[in-house]
Amino acid sequence: MSQLLRILSLGVILVVATVAWFSLGGITSARTSSQQGALYGAVADLWGQPHTQQAPALSFSWQVPNTREEVITEFGRTVYDAKGDPRTRVVTTWETRSRVGELDASDITADLHLDARRKGLLWFPLYDVAFRGAYAYTHAGTEAGTLSLSFDFPLVDGVYDDFSFTVDGVEVADEHLPVNGRITVPVEVTPGQEIRFAVAYRSRGMTTWSYSPARDHGVGQLRDFSLVMSTDFADIDFPPFTMSPSAKERVGEGWRLSWTFSRLVSGHGMGMVMPEHIQPGPLSSAMSFSAPISLGLFMLWIYVLGLLKGVEVHPVNHLFLAAAFFAFHLLFAYSADRLPVEAAFALSSAVSVALVVSYLRLVVGARFALVEAGAAQLLYLVGFSLAHFWEGYTGLTLTVLGIVTLFALMQMTGRIRWAEVFAGQVTPQARR
């Protein structure tokens, strides 16, 4: 077989393998999407959704007398006095007025415990949260009236254990029940009076937890504000439109993050994005879509080594090698939802390498199969696939791998007279 026909045959094999890998990647993506749509709601029902805890809302209301003079009537007729003038009387009514109150101090703690759960091809970043907020309000007005303390839970249909609502140290949660996810406690206040109240609960959520000092995504004012967040995980990130912490300290396996402000006007809150495990479904799809690159480099490497060493590796042999490469991704795609992703990767790598080495041992000998081919497969298949575990490094890995391969091939083939090789006049081994 001429070298040109051999190269064309290898190209056809690569195209066929590419179609197979793209089909596998598409199937895996479809499986992941269908599972995500079905499982997200089920997991949310069992564990909860992302939490955004808003600051309490304060509303002060008081009554103002409204005095007016009105004409006295009896049986629909005006009553007159002895002088013939209509008789009148003074009537006093009460008008209720209200204004929004502002917190004078906020002392908040949120302890986050990561509890990721896996369903099929997807990991869900679930968490437990212990929340406590202590607040202070000083009535600066000159009127006496009623201060309404309103606290909204993050989710109307959420689950909140160990719930407590205290006003000046007195528990009021038993007397005031939540309505549509909000609990409102009225407190009578007089000018200059200070009210301290605190809310605490334990709950569960998913993906993100955040605290919003401004209600309804507006701009809010923070005075004497402190939020301390503790995590039991090291990989921290913050949601969009939130502020980075004022200070952070490593504590055990996690962090202690602090947001402290004396007076701040902002529409941004504070929060945390839960770290996610490697997602088996998207990982399997990404590896399948990029697999033709690793196979192409491997086939090129084996082809050049065959020329240099005078080893006959027929295109049919390359076809079986491509099937062994495809077996890696096929096995990983269907074992990653049954095994830990690391175990599925190790199993798939071992099976694929064993297929290639044991096959080439029969074709070209044990040394070439184990050293040249086995090492190349570990580099181009296993190593390149392993780079997908670190998001953002796949392209860099491919670039470095391609440059190193190019350098090695250029050095190895620099003295080959390709015109003679393709003309079939001499083999590189014979010429050397």
* Of 215, 244, 273, the domain-final residue: 273
CA dihedral 106, 206, 286, 388 (to 10 degrees): 60
Do residue 262 and residue 149 come from a single domain?
yes
Range of the domain at 187: 50-60+98-273
| Per-residue pLDDT tens listing for the chain (432 residues) | 677 888 899 999 999 999 999 999 998 888 777 666 666 666 766 777 899 999 999 999 988 888 888 887 887 788 787 787 888 888 877 788 888 888 999 999 999 999 888 776 678 889 999 999 999 999 988 889 999 999 999 998 888 999 999 999 999 988 888 888 899 999 999 999 999 999 999 999 999 999 988 765 567 778 899 999 999 999 999 998 888 899 999 998 999 999 999 888 877 889 999 988 877 888 889 999 999 999 999 999 998 888 888 888 899 999 999 999 999 999 998 888 788 888 999 999 999 999 999 999 999 989 999 988 999 999 999 988 988 888 777 888 888 888 988 888 888 888 878 777 777 655 554 333
Tell which phi-psi region holds residue 192, choosing left (phi > 0), alpha (psi between -120 and 50) or beta. left
Do residue 55 and residue 30 come from a single domain?
no
The token pair at 387 is: 């780079």
88: in domain = no
402: in domain = yes
71: in domain = no
Task: Report the CATH number at residue 152.
Answer: 2.60.40
45: in domain = no
Helices 3-47/280-309 angle, 10° precision = 160
Do residue 269 and residue 287 come from a single domain?
no
166: in domain = yes
73: in domain = no
Do residue 283 and residue 221 come from a single domain?
no
Do residue 307 and residue 376 come from a single domain?
yes
Which pLDDT does position 92 carry in this prediction? 77
The token pair at 36 is: 């995500």
Do residue 247 and residue 147 come from a single domain?
yes
Phi, psi for residue 252 in degrees, rounded to 5: 60, -130
The token pair at 332 is: 């990983």
Helices 341-363/280-309 angle, 10° precision = 20
Do residue 102 and residue 221 come from a single domain?
yes
Tens digit of each residue's pLDDT (9 = 90 or more) over 174-205: 888 888 889 999 999 999 999 999 999 999 99
For the chain, the domain total comes to 2
The token pair at 51 is: 């939490």
Do residue 171 and residue 233 come from a single domain?
yes
Do residue 196 and residue 285 come from a single domain?
no
* Of 243, 273, 303, the domain-final residue: 273
Helices 280-309/394-413 angle, 10° precision = 0
Tens digit of each residue's pLDDT (9 = 90 or more) over 73-110: 887 788 787 787 888 888 877 788 888 888 999 999 99
What is the SS3 string spanning the chain? Answer: CCHHHHHHHHHHHHHHHHHHHHHHHHHHHHHHHHHHHHHHHHHHHHHCCCEEEECCEEEEEEEEEEEEEEECEECCEECECCCCCECEEEEEEEEEEEEEECCCEEEEEEEEEECCEEECCEEECEEEEEEEEEEEEECCCCCCEEEEEEEECCCCCCCCEEEEEEECCEECCCCCCCECCEEEEEEEECCCCEEEEEEEEEEEEECEEEEECCHHHCCEEEEEEEEEEEECCCCCCCCCCECCCCEEEEECCEEEEEEEEEEEEECCEEEEECCCCCCHHHHHHHHHHHHHHHHHHHHHHHHHHHHHHCCCCCHHHHHHHHHHHHHHHHHHHHHCCCCCHHHHHHHHHHHHHHHHHHHHHHHCCHHHHHHHHHHHHHHHHHHHHHHHHCCCCHHHHHHHHHHHHHHHHHHHHCCCCHHHHHHCCCCHHHHC
* Of 220, 244, 273, the domain-final residue: 273
Do residue 418 and residue 314 come from a single domain?
yes
Do residue 224 and residue 373 come from a single domain?
no
Which pLDDT does position 38 carry in this prediction? 63
Do residue 405 and residue 321 come from a single domain?
yes
84: in domain = no
